[in-house]
């Protein structure tokens, strides 16, 4: 696999027809099931069966870099911290390593921040081709008044966010109120306008894999451009079984409608080897098209540091201390 510096300078709408959504099909939703034991067996085989080495591993790790939504979502975020993060987004790996790898110009997929930091991030990334993503709709709990959640989306779009990561109301899933979830997602999609919307399902709080499958379908029917596992704030975040359920829902939706929806695992993915497993899962289940950053992202704050450390080992043959490779 060859990764080029132009892989990550486009927003999804420039590469794929945008998912317009469809009418809520409750029959389809209720047919969606999940065989936990079979899913867990399949997920358990991935880390051992799919191992890439040497130049192939370096190429996949470079691809992983282009798929990172480099993220800071802390209460003590400052403009200075966001500016440093944006500088890292522009130059995610040391220049000498990229030169040795023939990967000059490598950049991350996006920078993800809270609303107040959207404008500084847009300024810091000007001319880079890297979009700014904003978490929205009362992130992470999604329990603020509905009109305020919609207004928050609109304000982030006005400030320059090209992508909006929304959180769904978990209670709609837990009570099986699929119409309410659909209507909510449609309203969020409309508020985004031209900005792409990633629907965060908070899968660790949905109770069952069947709920994950059904919520995935409903959000795609309502026009989600991406479906995303977690806010990163739940006790259980991205897992391989959950990912398998969600990407098979994506496959089913594509086969039914012809529209490709993206996938974003988030929370707890901090090691380069984990990134390789997720990329292998995407390639096996959905094909090469879904391992490009208009259809696949990692939500991560520390993953980049470990990837850079592994790339340095590939180039130099030696590991450096992990503290030398901060993500932001």
Write out the catalytic residue numbers: 165, 228, 264
Instruction: Put residue 267 in one of left, alpha, beta given phi > 0 → left and psi -120 to 50 → alpha.
Output: left
CA distance 244 to 250: 10
CA distance 293 to 311: 20
Please give the DSSP secondary-structure letter assigned to residue 296.
B
Q: Is 80 helix (H, G, I), strand (E, B) or coil?
A: helix
What does DSSP say about strands 262-264 and 226-228: parallel, antiparallel, or unpaired? Answer: parallel
Instruction: Put residue 258 in one of left, alpha, beta given phi > 0 → left and psi -120 to 50 → alpha.
Output: left
Of 206, 207, 287, 286, residue with least CA distance to 253: 286
Of 112, 114, 123, residue with least CA distance to 77: 114
Size of the chain, expressed as the number of residues it contains: 328
- Give the CA dihedral 156, 200, 140, 168, nearest 10 degrees: 90
CA distance 233 to 127: 32
Please give the DSSP secondary-structure letter assigned to residue 93.
S
């Amino acid at each position: 696999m060859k990764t080029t510096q132009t892989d990550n300078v486009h927003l999804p709408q420039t590469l794929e027809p945008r998912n317009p959504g469809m009418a809520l099909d409750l029959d389809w939703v209720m047919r969606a099931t999940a065989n936990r034991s079979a899913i867990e067996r399949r997920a358990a085989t991935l880390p051992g069966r799919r191992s890439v080495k040497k130049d192939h591993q370096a190429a996949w790790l470079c691809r992983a870099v282009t798929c990172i939504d480099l993220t800071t979502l802390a209460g003590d975020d400052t403009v200075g911290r966001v500016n440093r993060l944006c500088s890292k987004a522009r130059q995610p790996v040391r220049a000498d390593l990229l030169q040795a790898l023939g990967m000059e110009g490598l950049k991350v997929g996006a920078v993800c921040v809270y609303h107040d930091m959207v404008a500084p991030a847009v300024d810091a990334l000007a001319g880079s081709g890297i979009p700014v993503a904003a978490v929205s709709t009362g992130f992470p709990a999604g329990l603020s008044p509905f009109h305020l959640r919609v207004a928050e989306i609109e304000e982030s779009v006005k400030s320059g966010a090209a992508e909006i990561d929304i959180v769904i109301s978990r209670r709609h899933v837990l009570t099986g109120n699929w119409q309410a979830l659909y209507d909510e997602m449609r309203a969020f999609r409309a508020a985004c306008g031209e900005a792409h919307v990633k629907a965060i399902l908070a899968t660790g709080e949905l109770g069952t894999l069947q709920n994950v499958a059904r919520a995935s379908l409903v959000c795609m029917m309502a026009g989600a451009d991406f479906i995303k596992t977690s806010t990163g704030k739940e006790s259980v975040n991205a897992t391989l079984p959950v990912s398998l359920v969600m990407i098979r829902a994506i496959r089913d939706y594509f086969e039914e409608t012809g529209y490709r929806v993206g996938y974003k695992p988030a929370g707890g993915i901090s090691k380069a080897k984990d990134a390789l497993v997720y990329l292998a899962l995407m390639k096996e289940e959905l094909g090469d098209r879904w391992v490009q950053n208009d259809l696949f992202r990692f939500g991560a704050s520390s993953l980049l540091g470990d990837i850079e450390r592994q790339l340095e080992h590939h180039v130099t043959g030696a590991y450096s201390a992990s503290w030398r490779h901060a993500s932001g």
